[in-house]
């Protein structure tokens, strides 16, 4: 039995790259983005940072990411999901700015942390009821319904 004593240690750049990539993936997935879109964003960020052989696997509940074949994988479990298109848009903007060279990795990480830590606006039940009623009436109109049908 042979034991490999060559322990791999991550550099600061690799740790920071993984932090940025995983945080972007978490924000996107927890905000309701599709898994393949999350994988694509993570791969694009890794490619921008010089890691052309990154691997990611995203499901509704887990993010699994490897920067390259010699690095340790990062696995993160997603516990909450919501629909927040504003957070998705802001995360995509950070990804594009990073790709364009307008943001450094550290600045991108700080911006992503701000996006992740800010509180979502919680709407009360009455507001949701009014919004659902307006949507329902709109569909009634589109389907050729009558004014009396509103009561049903």
For the chain, give every domain's residue range: 12-117, 122-152
- Tell me the average pLDDT across 9-19: 87
Q: What is the mean pLDDT of the chain?
A: 87
Confidence of residue 1 (pLDDT cuts 50, 70, 90): very low
- Tell me the average pLDDT across 118-142: 80
- By percentage, how much of the chain surpasses pLDDT 70? 91
Helix-helix angle 35-48:12-30, to 10 degrees: 160
Sign (positive/negative) of CA torsion 81, 85, 90, 93? positive
Q: What is the pLDDT of residues 52-98, one digit of tens each?
A: 999 999 999 999 999 988 888 899 999 888 888 899 999 999 999 99
Distance CA 106, CA 32 (A): 25
> What's the confidence (pLDDT) of residue 126?
84
Buried b (16+ CB within 10 A) or exposed e, 111-132: bbeebeeeeeeeeeeeeeeeee
The structure's pTM equals 0.76
Are 65 and 54 a contacting pair, CB within 8 Å? yes
DSSP letter assigned to residue 36: H
> What's the confidence (pLDDT) of residue 71?
84
């Amino acid at each position: 039995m042979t034991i490999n004593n060559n322990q791999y240690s991550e550099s600061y750049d690799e740790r920071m790259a993984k932090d940025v990539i995983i945080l972007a993936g978490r924000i996107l997935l927890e905000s309701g983005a599709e898994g393949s879109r999350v994988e694509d964003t993570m791969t694009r960020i890794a490619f921008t940072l010089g890691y052309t052989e990154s691997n990611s696997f995203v499901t509704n509940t887990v993010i699994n990411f490897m920067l390259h074949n010699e690095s340790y994988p990062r696995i993160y479990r997603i516990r909450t999901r919501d629909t927040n298109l504003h957070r998705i848009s802001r995360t995509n903007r950070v990804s594009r700015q990073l790709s364009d060279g307008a943001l450094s990795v550290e600045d991108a990480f700080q911006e992503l942390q701000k996006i992740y830590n800010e509180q979502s606006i919680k709407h009360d039940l009455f507001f949701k009821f009014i919004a659902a009623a307006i949507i329902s009436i709109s569909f009634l109109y589109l389907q050729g319904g009558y004014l009396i049908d509103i009561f049903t």
